[in-house]
Amino acid sequence: MKFLLYLVLYLLSLDLSAHSGRLDKMDTSKHHHEPKRKAPLKALIVDGQNNHAVWPKATLMMKQYLEETGLFQVAIYRTRFTWGAEREKEYLPLAGVGATTDLENPQHDPDFAPMFKNYDVVISNFGWKAADWPEDTQKAFEEYMSSGGGFVSFHAANNSFPDWLEYNKMIGLGGWGDRTEKDGPYVYYTNEGELVRDPSPGKGGAHGPSHIFPITIREKDHPITRGMPKVWLTTKDECYSQLRGPAENMTVLATGKDVSGKAPTDRHEPMLMVLDYGKGRVFHTTLGHDDFSIESVGFITSFLRGAEWAATGKVTQPIPDDFPTAENSTSRDFKWKIDGQ
Ligand SMILES: [Zn+2]
């Protein structure tokens, strides 16, 4: 009896697939140039140790934003020992990476070894004081990048790994971690619009209080920034300043001006950057301090376009209707839509 039921179901499924096959054919004959639906881009978010308490939530926000575009399929790879996960611990199991242990200090994970080569783009949500990756993993990442990989450095990821030279070449500019003139110049725009590389001595990394500040586009014809208004507002976020690093093969796409009244500098500081590393592409965003910063439409749009560009060298996503202007800061409330696992 059961066998008969299965047989009927099987025959029905054959019939259905035959129908859909015919429909496909008819469709193709009507639209000769309909492009084949492409497989999604594969993105990997790496995280686990960050001085920003938002990090477990930030990873899930970025994953959901990426997947909602329909362009990306996102995996997460996390260090076995985490740091700073307490505030957003309810988001930890949603990553689907198995059990991890939160410690009082960042601790080296000798088994941290993502298969970078399986991904079109790697996004770092590590932060200040993150423990060094194993040497083999560092080498694998350098090879992945120099042979044509994609990388996105998100907010405090530019605080990580001050002693890893190749990583600092990838991000171009970094802050804190005892970075000084030994690590490279300051890079900024003056109020008159001049791009400056400044080798003068001093610490790397500072910021005033979180606040809404203006972003100025410096490269309007780059795929990531094309179509954005010349000036647009963040939501409440940190305006990183006085970053320094090798800054080779780097283009500053957009700068930020701290208007909090407590600005560390009177300069326009790099906020969105792109870099070449061998055949690899890097998108570096300094934005994204906390959840309300990541909900910014300016952040979301530049992040998604930056990730697509890092993965493919192109951007297909339009500027959304709710993109901020020079007068209006815009944001979208984040709600996790995928059921827990
Ligand atoms: Zn921050």
Domains parsed from the chain with CATH numbers: 41-312 (3.40.50.880)
What is the reported pTM? 0.89
Cα(43) to ligand 1 centroid in Å equals 23
Task: From first to last of the 341 residues of the chain, give the pLDDT tens digit.
Answer: 455 545 444 444 444 444 443 334 344 444 455 455 578 999 999 999 999 999 999 999 999 999 999 999 999 999 999 999 999 999 999 999 999 999 999 999 999 999 999 999 999 999 999 999 999 999 999 999 999 999 999 999 999 999 999 999 999 999 999 999 999 999 999 999 999 999 999 999 999 999 999 999 999 999 999 999 999 999 999 999 999 999 999 999 999 999 999 999 999 999 999 999 999 999 999 999 999 999 999 999 999 999 999 999 999 999 999 999 999 999 999 999 976 44
Cα(172) to ligand 1 centroid in Å equals 18
Report the alpha-carbon angle 305-85-150, nearest 5: 25
**Residue count of the chain:** 341
The b-or-e profile of 155-175 (16+ CB within 10 A means b, else e) is bbbbbbbbebebbbbbbbbbb
Cα(5) to ligand 1 centroid in Å equals 60
For residue 339, what pLDDT is reported?
A: 60
Ion ligand 1, residue ranges at CB < 5 A: 238, 289
Three-state secondary-structure class, residue 314:
coil
Q: Does residue 103 contact residue 126 with C-beta atoms inside 8 Å?
A: no
Cα(130) to ligand 1 centroid in Å equals 14
Cα(94) to ligand 1 centroid in Å equals 23
